[in-house]
A = this chain, B = another copy of it.
Amino acid sequence: MNLVVQTESEKRMKMQPVKGTRDFYPPQMAVRNFIVDGWKASSIRNGFVEYDGPIFEYLQMYQVKSGDEIVEQLFNFTDRGNRHLAIRPEITPTLARMINKQINALPMPIKWFSVPRLCRAERPQKGRLREFFQWNIDIIGIEDVLADAEVICCSLDYLRNTGLTSKDVVAKISSRRLLAALLKNIGIAEEKLESLYPILDKKTKIPVEAFVEMLEKEIDSPETIQAILKLMDIHSVNDIPDIVKLDEKAQESLDELKRVFAYLEKMGAEDWCRFDMSIVRGLAYYTGMVFEIHDKSGDLRAICGGGRYDNLLSDFGGPKVTATGMGMGDAVLEILLREKGLLTDDSLDIQKLDYFVACVDGDLFDEAVEITTKIRQKGYAANFSYKTNALKKQMKIADSMNAAKCIIVGGELKESGQLVIKDMATGEQILVDATTFLE
Question: Which residues does A use to contact B, with CB under 8 Å?
Answer: 8, 11-12, 14-18, 21-26, 29-30, 32-33, 44-47, 49-58, 60-61, 72, 75-77, 79-80, 83, 85, 87, 94, 97-98, 100-102, 107, 109, 111-112, 117, 119, 121, 131, 142, 144, 146-147, 153, 157, 160, 263, 266-268, 316-317, 350-351, 353, 366, 369-370, 373-374, 376-377, 379-383, 386, 400-401
Min Cβ gap A86→B in Å is 9
- Whether A146 touches B369, Cβ cut-off 8 Å, given contacts A21-B54, A54-B18, is yes
Are B15 and A97 within 8 A (Cβ)?
Answer: yes
Closest CB of chain B to A106's CB: distance in Å? 8
Contact A266 B49, beta carbon cutoff 8 Å: no
Bound-complex Cα distance A16 to B44 (A): 28
User: A157 — nearest CB in chain B belongs to which residue?
Assistant: B376
Q: List 12 A-B contacts (CB under 8 A).
A: A15-B61, A15-B101, A18-B85, A29-B49, A29-B50, A29-B51, A46-B376, A46-B382, A80-B121, A109-B386, A157-B376, A266-B366
- In the bound assembly, the distance between CA atoms of A77 and B121 in angstroms comes to 12
- Complex interface: chain B residues within 8 A of A33 (CB): 50
Could you say which of A16, A47, A75, A76 has the most chain B C-beta atoms within 10 Å of its C-beta?
A47
Q: How far is the CB of A307 from the nearest CB of chain B, in Å?
A: 19
Q: Which chain B residue has the least Cβ–Cβ distance from A58?
A: B14
Closest to A384 in B: B47
| Number of this chain's copies in the complex | 2
Q: Is the CB of A386 within 8 A of B97?
A: no
Alpha-carbon gap, A18 to B18, bound state (A): 25
How far, in Å, is A13 (CB) from chain B's closest CB?
A: 9
**Known A46-B381, A79-B121, A267-B373; 5 more pairs at CB < 8 Å:** A24-B51, A56-B131, A80-B121, A267-B370, A268-B370
B369 touches A117 (CB 8 A): no
- Most chain B CB atoms below 10 A, which of A18, A33, A111, A268: A18
Chain B positions within 8 Å of A14 at CB level: 58, 60-61
Highest count of chain B CB atoms <10 Å: which of A14, A58, A76, A107: A14
User: What residue in chain B is nearest A97 (Cβ atoms)?
Assistant: B15
Contact of A56 among B75, B370, B380, B382 (CB under 8 A): B75
- In the complex, A146 Cα to B21 Cα: how many Å? 35
Q: Which 7 A-B pairs have the closest CB atoms?
A: A21-B54, A47-B383, A77-B77, A12-B317, A24-B52, A267-B373, A26-B49
A79 to B383 CA separation, bound complex (whole angstroms): 43
- Most chain B CB inside 10 Å of its own CB: which residue of A25, A46, A80: A25
Measured in the bound complex, the distance between the Cα atoms of B120 and A56 in whole Å is: 12
A157 to chain B, nearest CB (A): 6
Question: How far apart sit A117 and B111, CA to CA, in the bound complex (Å)?
Answer: 25
**Structural contact, B22 and A51, CB atoms closer than 8 A:** no
